[in-house]
Amino acid sequence: MWSCSCSCPPCPCPSTQRPPTRPQETERLLSDPAPGITAQPHEDNLRYFDVTIEGPGGSPFEHGIFKLELFLPEEYPMAPPKVRFLTKIYHPNIDKLGRICLDILKDTDKWSPALQIRTVLLSIQALLSAPNPDDPLATDVARHYKEDEGAALGVSREWTRVYASG
């Protein structure tokens, strides 16, 4: 039972809140990051992480450094984290608000408490390698990918150069 010196039941003090992640999960994110990915928890709110993902080699996002924010809802790990891109990106599965179309994030049947933040971030990095215009979130970008993939890849490369060059 969490307790503190205040008299409010139940105590909302930050020092008494249940930690939002499994401590070993956060420790591993910091001590053994996945290649091309960093995730740094906020000091004042351990539910928020500043994330960077390097664009995968061989993709139109190569050489880009993409900033994301990750938030762990109260229900985590029973519910998936909330993740969005802060860096502008031209991708059929990521909309202009940075929301990501990824089954483990949007489909509760695909999420499992056994999955971890690391798995989510690796899945997002893999999505950068394999845009899927058949399951789009940005329908205009998906249409462009389907109608003229070469031109769409060119726009993705240009946006990466302009918006994600560090």
The residues annotated as belonging to the active site are: 101
Supply 99's token pair: 């929301």
Sequence-distant (≥ 6) Cβ neighbours of residue 79 within 8 angstroms: 73, 108, 111
**Cβ count near 130 (within 10 Å):** 9
Rounded Cα distance, 34 and 45, in Å: 23
DSSP summary character for residue 113: T
- Strand 82-85 vs strand 48-54: parallel, antiparallel, or unpaired? unpaired
**Cβ count near 55 (within 10 Å):** 22
- Cα 131 from chain centroid? 15
Residues in the chain: 166
